[in-house]
Amino acid sequence: MHYLPANTRYDNMTYRRCGRSGLQLPAVTLGLWYNFGGVDSLENGRSMIHRAFDLGITHFDLANNYGPPPGSAEENFGRILAKDLKRYRDELIISSKAGYRMWPGPYGEWGSRKYLVASLDQSLKRMGLEYVDIFYSHRPDPNTPLEETLGALDFIVRSGRALYAGISTYSPEQTRQAAAILRDLGTPCLIHQPRYNMFDRWIEDGLLDVLDEEGIGCIGFSPLCQGILTDKYLNAVPEDSRAAKIDGAFHWGDSVSADRIAKVRQLNQLAQARGQTMAQMAIAWVLRHDTMTSALIGASKVSQVEEAVAALDNLAFSDEELATIEAILAE
Ligand SMILES: NC(=O)c1ccc[n+]([C@@H]2O[C@H](COP(=O)([O-])OP(=O)(O)OC[C@H]3O[C@@H](n4cnc5c(N)ncnc54)[C@H](OP(=O)(O)O)[C@@H]3O)[C@@H](O)[C@H]2O)c1
């Protein structure tokens, strides 16, 4: 079926300025880490992307290794773009990354110029694009000088392969150094992509301050802690959940533990009192920082995309609500 985007797509979405740049991003971004790969239904992925764009989500986040198999999310996204969204390329912010293992040998991962440039060229081919909007160093490389990794990002922007440069999971200190190097090169660091949710708050310990001072935007990934910060695991592990479906999918030590579920049960009551679902309160909570440009969600169903966007209807927290959340998380 032919896809025509909704005329209302810009009516309700909130857009936030990315740091001190000229670029605005939707407060909710859709990531294609899972559910868009070769093992997944292309039609379901296509429906989620259509619905997202119809709701004003202009930003889609990818990486070389998303799938599985690695690369297949970019291939599928390329198919969907070619079929449905080609005419709307200038309304889209498409990002990709390199850092994790993508091909065998010493040039298939980490942060060398050799790997980053080759990987982005592969990503562009898979997606059928001339350029991505944002290209990230996916993780800091302890064995490559920051100057080389960031010099590669500067080259990538200057050569027209990307419009902006970003970094992901860099520590506060590495971020400060990266910002200085990129500024000297004349390609400012647009954005940092760290993990951030109620169960993983490391960015509150210095990173947000650095981003604020340097004028770098922030897009927090896994705001739902991969689905744990929703009502889905409150009674059991459903068969169609990430925890049940994807062996080893839960990274960063995430697990559907009794302790976490007990907390989510209490948080869920507060969410209901706010007139929100648990997922919506978790997204709103991530977006409570002025420095947070966008909440980078994942989804396996169209309804999850809709639920996430509706979180933007209530982003305000009273001091009392924030204190209640702190008390529950500290238990
Ligand atoms: N930079 C990095 O190193 C890095 C690392 C990881 C991710 N990321 C980015 O961040 C994006 C999001 O990561 P994530 O998928 O972990 O994010 P998330 O939003 O924390 O989790 C998404 C998952 O939660 C479940 N879910 C979503 N909405 C729900 C709802 N309303 N009710 C019940 N369950 C719901 C779905 O899983 P089910 O299958 O259970 O339905 C969905 O796939 C990725 O796609 C990627 O772009 C970046």
Asked whether residue 302 is assigned to any structural domain, the reply reads yes
Q: How far is CA 120 from CA 26, 67, 172, 212, 298, in A?
A: 24, 16, 26, 28, 22
**The pLDDT of residue 308 is above 80:** yes
**Residue 80 within a domain:** yes
Mean pLDDT, residues 177-203 taken together:
98
Our answer on whether the CB atom of 307 is closer than 6 Å to any ligand 1 atom is: yes
pLDDT at 246: 67
**Domain holding 304: CATH number?**
3.20.20.100
Secondary element (H or E) of residue 165: strand 162-168
Query: At 168, which helix (H) or strand (E)?
Result: strand 162-168
Specify if 264 maps to a domain. no
Report CA(280)–ligand 1 centroid distance (Å). Answer: 13
- C-beta of 227 in contact with ligand 1 (< 6 A): yes
Q: Measured in angstroms, how far is the CA atom of residue 65 from the centroid of ligand 1?
A: 16
Assign 86 to helix, strand or coil: helix
Does ligand 1 come within 6 angstroms of the Cβ of 296?
A: yes
Where is pLDDT greater, at 84 or 240?
Answer: 84
Can you give the pLDDT at residue 248? 61
Query: Residue 162 falls within a domain, yes or no?
Result: yes
C-alpha 147 to ligand 1 mean position (Å): 32
Taking the centre of ligand 1 as the mean of its atom positions, its distance from the CA of residue 321, in whole angstroms, is: 25
Ligand 1 centroid to residue 17 C-alpha, Å: 23
The predicted pLDDT at position 146 comes to: 98
Stretch 111-124: mean pLDDT: 98
pLDDT of residue 247: 63
Q: Is 49 among the domain residues?
A: yes
Q: What pLDDT, on the 0 to 100 scale, is given for residue 186?
A: 98
Mean pLDDT of 291-315: 98
- Read off the pLDDT of each residue in 288-293 and give the average, rounded to a whole number: 98
Q: Assess whether the C-beta atom of 31 lies below 6 angstroms from ligand 1.
A: yes
pTM: 0.97
Q: Count of domains in the chain?
A: 1
Contacts of 54 (CB under 8 A, 6+ apart): 5, 6, 8, 9
Domain that holds residue 61: 15-227+291-314
Tell me the average pLDDT of the chain: 96
CA of 165 to the centre of ligand 1 (A): 23
* Nearest partner of 136 among 112, 116, 121, judged by Cα: 116
* pLDDT value, residue 2: 86
> What 3-state class would DSSP assign to 269?
helix
Which DSSP string corresponds to 94-125? EEEEE-S--SSSTTSSTT-HHHHHHHHHHHHH
pLDDT confidence tier of residue 193, bands split at 50, 70 and 90:
very high
Give the mean model confidence (pLDDT) for residues 150-170. 98
Residue 26 maps to a domain: yes
Arithmetic mean of pLDDT, 150-172 = 98
Question: Over 90: is that where the pLDDT of 188 sits?
Answer: yes
pLDDT value at residue 250: 66
Quick check: CB of 299 below 6 Å from ligand 1?
A: yes
239: in domain: no
Section 54-65 average pLDDT: 98
Give the distance (Å) from ligand 1 centre to CA of residue 298. 3
In a domain, 176, yes or no: yes
Atom of ligand 1 nearest to the CA of 63: 47
Q: pLDDT tens, 219-270?
A: 999 999 999 999 999 988 888 888 887 666 666 667 788 899 999 999 999 9
Which residue puts its alpha carbon closest to atom 7 of ligand 1? 221
- Asked if residue 208 has its Cβ within 6 Å of ligand 1, the reply is no
